[in-house]
Amino acid sequence: MKIERSLNPWLFSERSSVWDILVNSTSLPLIGFSDQGSTWWGFYLQFVWQRNSGRLFMTGDEVSPYSWWAGVNYFLTICPYLAAMKVGLTDQVEIIPPNYNAEKFCLTYDECNVEVMGRWFDVMNTIKLVQMGKLNVTLDDLITLIYKGHTETILAALPVLVDELSLLSDQERRFGHGWALFVEIIAATNFDTNYTDTQANQKYLPTRVLTNKDIPPFIFDMPEQTNILVATIITVHEMDELGTFQTLLDAWKSEMKNPKCRADGREFLESFLDSPFTSIFKGMLEIIDSCNYP
């Protein structure tokens, strides 16, 4: 296929433009009549938070390839875009590599992780078939497919970006790794990451990079809710190191297969993100128990 233009995802403005393209090219009636209903906005707004909080290590408009957050976001941006190109939803573009650390980042559909690209192909092909009137799906079905791509992408990116993670302070490293795992808790509930909901649910994310002096819940320049959120995410990391997180996650995922339990889990997480509280793990266990013994 003919390459129509180039795209430099190491410029904040150009990587951001990917989400405008995907929002427009994947538009479906089932997400409503406002483009703010698109699930893709959650990806973009995370990228904006990473910039605003200093996590992209930017110089002007340039995003650093040595930023762990920027690296994970690269795969979450470029992999779905390459899949959209593959099925003909978007223009054919040439992805420009970074000036350094380029060996870490795939540039074409065939270069990227096979399992990851298979997930995103399923998403984009489904959207194309729905647009053509050849397939009917619910919003829940579509969000399930997108989260499979989302979580698989993060899990594949983690071993690629070990060196970049090690460049962070111990506290930021714990928070970043914990956040990557926490996404799986969110994903199991089919949490809709449209523009309005995501914007509201990000209000207590930390507004700067953590240092080793930041010990939640005693981070003096962050509100109580942010302290609780940071402590929760770091606890997820610590549980994973102890080998207990996967057990909780497996039980959570199992119960979230039930539509009613999934709705309860989603409402619970919405409440937590809206105003973080310390008993999130207790609350998750209570939902798991209630689903086992209705």
Read out DSSP for 255-273? HTTSHHHHHHHHHHHHHHH
What pLDDT is recorded for position 277?
85
CB-neighbour burial class of residue 10 (10 A; exposed 0-12, middle 13-18, buried 19+): buried
Say whether pLDDT at 259 is over 70: yes
Find the largest Cα–Cα distance for the chain.
57
Q: What is the pTM assigned to this prediction?
A: 0.95
Selection from 174, 165, 152, 169 nearest residue 83 by Cα: 152
From CA 237, how far away is CA 175, in angstroms rounded?
7
Q: Are 167 and 68 in contact (CB under 8 A)?
A: yes
User: Can you tell me the mean pLDDT for 197-202?
Assistant: 90
Band (pLDDT 50/70/90 cuts) for residue 28 is confident
Model pLDDT, residue 1: 63
pLDDT digits 0-9 by tens, 106-145:
999 999 999 999 999 999 999 999 999 999 999 999 999 9
pLDDT value at residue 292? 77
Burial class (CB in 10 A: 0-12, 13-18, 19+), 60: exposed
Q: Would you place residue 293 in the very low, low, confident or very high pLDDT band (cuts 50, 70, 90)?
A: low
Rounded to whole angstroms, the Cα distance separating 88 from 83 reads 9
What pLDDT was estimated at residue 35?
Answer: 61
Tell me what the mean pLDDT of segment 62-70 comes to: 98
pLDDT tens string 160-176: 999 999 999 999 999 99
Chain center to CA of 250: 19
pLDDT in tens, 145-161: 999 999 999 999 999 99
- State what percent of residues in the chain have pLDDT above 90: 87
Per-residue model confidence (pLDDT) at position 38: 86
Closest Cα partner for 201 from 254, 281, 274? Answer: 274
Query: Is the pLDDT score of 289 beyond 80?
Result: yes
Q: What is the mean pLDDT of the chain?
A: 94
Q: Is residue 44 over pLDDT 60?
A: yes
Judged against a pLDDT cut of 90, whether residue 34 lies above it is answered with no
Asked whether the predicted pLDDT for residue 59 surpasses 90, the reply is yes
Q: What was the pLDDT predicted at 48? A: 97
Distance CA 202, CA 196 (A): 10
**Choice between 181 and 293, residue whose per-residue pLDDT is larger:** 181
Determine the pLDDT at residue 279.
85
Per-residue pLDDT tens for 204-233? 999 999 999 999 999 999 999 999 999 999
Q: State phi, psi for 6 to the nearest 5 degrees.
A: -110, 160
DSSP strands (E only) in 72-136: 93-95
Q: Predicted confidence band at 3 (pLDDT cuts at 50, 70, 90)?
A: confident
Please report which confidence band the pLDDT of residue 287 belongs to, taking 50, 70 and 90 as the band edges.
very high
CA-atom Rg of the chain in angstroms: 19
Predicted pLDDT of residue 164: 98
Q: Which DSSP symbol is given to 11?
A: B
Q: Provide the angle, in degrees to the nearest 10, between the axes of the packed helices 12-25 and 68-87.
A: 40
